[in-house]
A = this chain, B = another copy of it.
Amino acid sequence: MDVFELSSKRFTTKHYDPSRKISPDDMGKLKEILRLTPSSVNSQPWHFIIGSSDKAKKLIRPAIMDFNWPRTDDCSHFVVLCIKEDLDESHLNAVTAQENADGRFPNEQIKEEGDSKRKWYVSMKRERGQLRSWATHQVYIAMASLLYGAASLGIQSTAIEGYNPSKLDAILSLREKGLRSVAIVTLGYGALDDSNASRKKSRLPAETLFTELD
């Protein structure tokens, strides 16, 4: 199914079938899709926390708004999408070292230039107080990759912003790891009575959404 079809057919799942689990093979593909997500200056300012056991679901439950419990209780897996609180020297050096190991630099000079451009860009974002908002934007690209990636594997999903970030971050000790959560995605297979599965997708008409320049 291509992205055009996916975007027509994908829907937000309200009720999961708790008995159906995503296979390790499919979870491996979803992790690879997350890993390969593009980001500004290849900054990869993210970390993903994955849970699927009853224990993990109970652990995060106190941070989830009660109206979202049907998703986090009954999904197969959940992914907490996090930004790195700071993109420090060691993270940026690791990105350059990886690019170097992957053969992206024809010579040392190009490597040095790439490395300093990225560091300049990141410090500019930091100085303007935009580092975390910028990192969050990149994580939303990863979220979309995950939603469409799941749909392409026949897996249903729900993007969840309705939770208490500081509570969740405390439960998962994210500050100690230099992380902040920005959203959760639940994944699994829809229950037969999922009310949203049969409802028509609704969007504003194209004529209100696009302006074509001469």
Q: Residues of A with Cβ closer than 8 Å to B?
A: 1-4, 6-8, 10, 12, 29, 31-38, 40, 42, 44, 46-51, 53, 55-56, 59, 94-95, 98-99, 101-104, 133-134, 136-138, 140-141, 143-145, 147-149, 151-153, 159, 161, 172, 182-183, 199-206, 208-214
Contact = CB atoms under 8 A, between A and B. Distances in A.
Contacts of A104: 199-200, 202
B95 A37 contact: no
B209 A34 contact: yes
A140 B133 contact: no
A147 B211 contact: no
A145 B7 contact: yes
Contacts of A49: 210-213
A103 B47 contact: no
Given A46-B209, A47-B211, A7 B33 contact: yes
Contact of A56 (B35, B42, B182, B214): B214
A76 to B, nearest CB: 14
A59 B213 CA distance: 10
Given A38-B10, A98-B205, A203-B44, A149 B213 contact: no
A114 to B, nearest CB: 11
A102 B209 contact: no
B7 A6 contact: no
B213 A53 contact: yes
